[in-house]
């Protein structure tokens, strides 16, 4: 069997990490051939007889319109020429016409286009239009799929309801955790010198549904109650308009000396930052399978988490929950942990134990077994 992976939309973040991990876990002993087309940012295993990479002009990677043209007019012909049996779209979208005797597999990863309450937070313009189009494109692709891989039961329930229970072949396979994020014993990695000794850490893109504005307000409230608390650090790339808003709120609350915003840092440096945080924060209001939450759990540190679904599906009773739309709830959760060493120790232990349920070798094995079953 020949499996073709269209990974052109897997350029960054969870989508890129997902594809990279399942490729590296593809069994060398498997006789099925995998052909991959993807951005340069994706590292494909080398010297593998059963994995091949095809090159494509860069314009089809960076330009969404050009990519659409390629998928509609060129990809179907390529599938026929290569005699492909399964087309796998880990980004979830397929715009072209599927050749006869070729199965379609999609992974549903982007919940934002299906969450109207979060979509409406974007101003009229590109992001509103993009999410509107993505909702239709992703849903259409799923309805054409011979197999849909969901990464949370919450996402599965949302799409099944929208599809009026007309989805007949699907499986739920959550993401795994890279072993480098998992704290061993009671030892922490050494924190980089440029970071303070004590800090709250929130790793995530600065974006409207990530609720950094509310986190700033919660931190300011906590600061008014307790004069000496750890600094707050945001790490992540930015949606420019929202990043500006976050900085305005920081300034308005006179928190410039206490709250730091740092751009996305190399993935290899994140484990040490998670593991040395006084408390890790995850305040997102919509997710599918939040890999950042899984990484933070693996750090074995106290974690305060948004109570919006699907977060409780992944972290169970291993964290303190709060409503991210209510800053006072986050302030209370942080204060509760700061004032209770026994609770802090208990949450650290529970988080690490919870993270053992998420393993890329298991996720990848189930993914390939599901695809091969076609």
How far is Cα 252 from Cα 254, in angstroms, rounded to an integer? Answer: 6
How far is Cα 183 from Cα 221, in angstroms, rounded to an integer? Answer: 31
Asked if omega into 310 is within 30° of 0 (cis), the reply is yes
What are 76-117's pLDDT values in tens digits?
999 999 999 999 999 999 988 999 999 999 999 999 999 999
**Pair (130, 9) in one structural domain:** yes
**Pair (9, 38) in one structural domain:** yes
**Pair (350, 211) in one structural domain:** yes
Q: What is the mean pLDDT of the chain?
A: 93
For the chain, percent of residues with pLDDT exceeding 70: 99
**Pair (245, 270) in one structural domain:** yes
What distance, in Å, lies between the first and last C-alpha atoms of the chain?
Answer: 10
CA nearest neighbour of 218 among 323, 114, 63, 315: 323
- Which range (46-60, 234-248, 296-310, 328-342) has the least confidence? 46-60
Residue 14 pLDDT level (bands cut at 50, 70, 90): confident
**Pair (128, 251) in one structural domain:** no
**Pair (220, 336) in one structural domain:** yes
Whether residue 212 has pLDDT greater than 70: yes
Whether residue 186 has pLDDT greater than 70: no
**Pair (234, 297) in one structural domain:** yes
Whether residue 119 has pLDDT greater than 90: yes
What are 250-303's pLDDT values in tens digits?
999 999 999 999 987 888 889 999 999 999 999 999 999 999 999 999 999 999
Q: What is the pLDDT of residue 43?
A: 86
Domain count, the chain: 2
**Pair (130, 57) in one structural domain:** yes
Q: Could you write out the DSSP letters of every residue in 207-252?
A: -GGGTHHHHHHHHHHHHHH-SS--EEEEES-B-HHHHHHHHHHHHH
**Pair (86, 131) in one structural domain:** yes
Q: Given the DSSP bridges, would you call strands 279-282 and 2-6 parallel, antiparallel or unpaired? A: unpaired
**Pair (164, 210) in one structural domain:** no
Q: Contact at 8 Å (CB) between 3 and 342?
A: no
Q: Which domain holds residue 312?
A: 179-355
Q: For the residues 329-356, what does the mean pLDDT come to? A: 97
Tokens of 4: 């073709």
**Pair (201, 143) in one structural domain:** no
Tell me, what CATH number does 69's domain have? 3.40.50.2000
Residue 185 pLDDT level (bands cut at 50, 70, 90): low
* Per-residue CA distances from 362 to 22, 109, 330, 368 (Å): 10, 18, 34, 10
**Pair (190, 328) in one structural domain:** yes
What are 39-60's pLDDT values in tens digits?
888 888 888 889 999 988 888 8
Whether residue 192 has pLDDT greater than 90: no
């Amino acid at each position: 069997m020949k499996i073709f992976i269209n990974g052109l939309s897997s350029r960054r973040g969870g989508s890129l990490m997902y594809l990279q991990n399942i490729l590296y876990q593809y069994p060398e002993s498997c006789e099925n051939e995998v052909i991959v087309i993807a951005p340069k940012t994706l590292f494909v295993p080398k010297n593998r007889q059963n994995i091949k990479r095809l090159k494509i002009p860069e314009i089809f990677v960076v330009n969404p319109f050009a990519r659409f043209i390629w998928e509609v007019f060129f990809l179907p012909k390529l599938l026929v020429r290569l005699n492909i049996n399964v087309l796998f779209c880990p980004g979830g979208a397929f715009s072209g016409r599927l050749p006869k005797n070729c199965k379609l597999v999609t992974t549903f990863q982007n919940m934002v286009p299906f969450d109207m309450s979060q979509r409406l937070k974007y101003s009229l313009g590109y992001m509103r239009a993009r999410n509107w189009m993505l909702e239709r494109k992703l849903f259409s692709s799923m309805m054409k799929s011979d197999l849909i891989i969901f990464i949370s039961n919450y996402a599965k329930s949302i799409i099944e309801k929208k599809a009026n229970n007309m989805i007949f072949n699907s499986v739920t396979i959550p993401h795994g955790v890279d072993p480098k994020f998992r704290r061993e014993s009671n030892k922490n990695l050494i924190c980089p010198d440029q970071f303070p000794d004590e800090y709250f850490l929130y790793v995530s893109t600065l974006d409207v549904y990530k609720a950094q504005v509310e986190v700033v307000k919660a931190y300011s409230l906590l600061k008014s109650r307790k004069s000496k608390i750890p600094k707050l650090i945001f790490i992540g790339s930015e949606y420019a308009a929202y990043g500006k808003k976050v900085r305005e709120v920081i300034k308005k609350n006179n928190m410039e000396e206490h709250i730091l915003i740092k751009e996305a840092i190399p993935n290899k440096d994140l484990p040490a930052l998670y593991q040395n945080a006084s408390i890790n924060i995850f305040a997102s209001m919509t997710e599918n399978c939040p890999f950042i939450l899984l990484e933070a759990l693996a750090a074995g540190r106290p974690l305060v988490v948004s109570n919006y679904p699907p977060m409780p599906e992944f972290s169970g009773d291993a964290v303190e929950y709060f409503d991210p739309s209510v800053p006072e709830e986050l302030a209370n959760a942080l204060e509760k942990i700061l004032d209770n060493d026994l609770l802090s120790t208990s949450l650290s232990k529970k988080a690490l134990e919870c993270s053992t349920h998420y393993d890329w070798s298991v996720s990848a094995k189930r993914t390939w077994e599901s695809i091969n079953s076609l």
